[in-house]
Structure 1
Amino acid sequence: MEEVVETGISSVNQLGGLFVNGRPLPLDTRQQIVQLAISGMRPCDISRSLKVSNGCVSKILGRYYRTGVLEPKGIGGSKPRLATPPVVARIAQLKGECPALFAWEIQRQLCVEGLCTQDKTPSVSSINRVLRALQEDQRPPWIHLRLPAGLGPIPRTPHCDSEAPRGPHPGTGHRNRTIFSPGQAEALEKEFQRGQYPDSVARGKLAAATSLPEDTVRCSSFSWKI
């Protein structure tokens, strides 16, 4: 049984080595581990020599052999939040003005407007989570959020103007665009990212999973390609 003795913010492992809970090993210790391994020392011997747990030594060496990276990964909470309040506000506004927009279309629009860069854009899953959270709010989602300066409504397009009317218009020949829920949109996106024209079997499974008619799934795959 491993005995750990608390000493302030540090602890002592069963080998007598000091460590800080939740913090990575110092870089100089990591360098010693790699240098000793390169010299031919076994991980268990490195563990005893440096008083670092064998599991920690193996993990550091395994990552170094796979990636060549010696530095620790980002500490929890250090990763910048991409869905900042201005970004969330813009997502809410875009979805409010054009409910038929998919998450990937919103993601692309954020980059086009310069609100996000290609390497610092919320993922499609993150945008869908934002949309689900906004949908739970009974108020119009963009009312209580502050928009970034200089950003106004997106240009109106047939894609946005084709919201479903309250009643049918027989004889007009106009096909209303289906407005998908966030869950349906996420399922469709995952399927169409694998292949933009699913076969009949895949369409049937997707229709059952999303509770959508198969004709709607077929039409969605066509519009996705466009």
Structure 2
Amino acid sequence: MFVAQVTGTTISSIVSVAASWWLLSAVENICVLEKLPKGSPWTCPGMTVTYDNSVIWGVVGPMRIYYPDGVYSKLLYFFLIGGIAPLLIWALSKYFPEKKWIKSINIPNILGGASVLLIAGAVNYWSWITVGVLFTVIIYNKYKDWWTKYNYVLANGLDLGVAFQSLLTSATLQINGIYGVNWWGLDVGDHCPLAQCPTAPGVSVEGCPTV
């Protein structure tokens, strides 16, 4: 297993770097949203997140964001919530021993799950939520034997299918400027005109409400 992990990591690293260099030279205006044609997939959401993090932690600084006078100071309450919530679940499981499902509530998994959310707009979460509910709730409860035998194979198949389809589409269509049917789901935005509006108090931008 260790050899397989090292081999896979080495190959994926080489392929990722090579593909990145190729895309940077082959795709015109890659990652430049203002110059990309409508529907272009080369918006680089991961790069945007990395840039935002560098601004938050390097330029602005956490004190002006999360400390008592910061815009998001109330997020600090989640440290308290994260410490109390597991104790609350434990107490409920003792108080209601007949309700076995309470013991299945895992607060670290629930709160930590947000860290592995897709780097995408809110509109892209629907397929993720749909597949998750279908296979971890409906099929798990109604067809548990099938779920036990095939669920993890299916999960890997879906990941590989998306990867191969993305590679095929990129190499045949998108690299030639063909981005597919012009429909609602092709928009890279969140279909919310206020999504780009500032949330800091007193900041006024044309077309946006002032907090």
TM-score normalised by L of structure 2: 0.19
Larger RCO (alpha carbons 8 Å, 6+ apart): 2
Greater helix share, structure number: 2
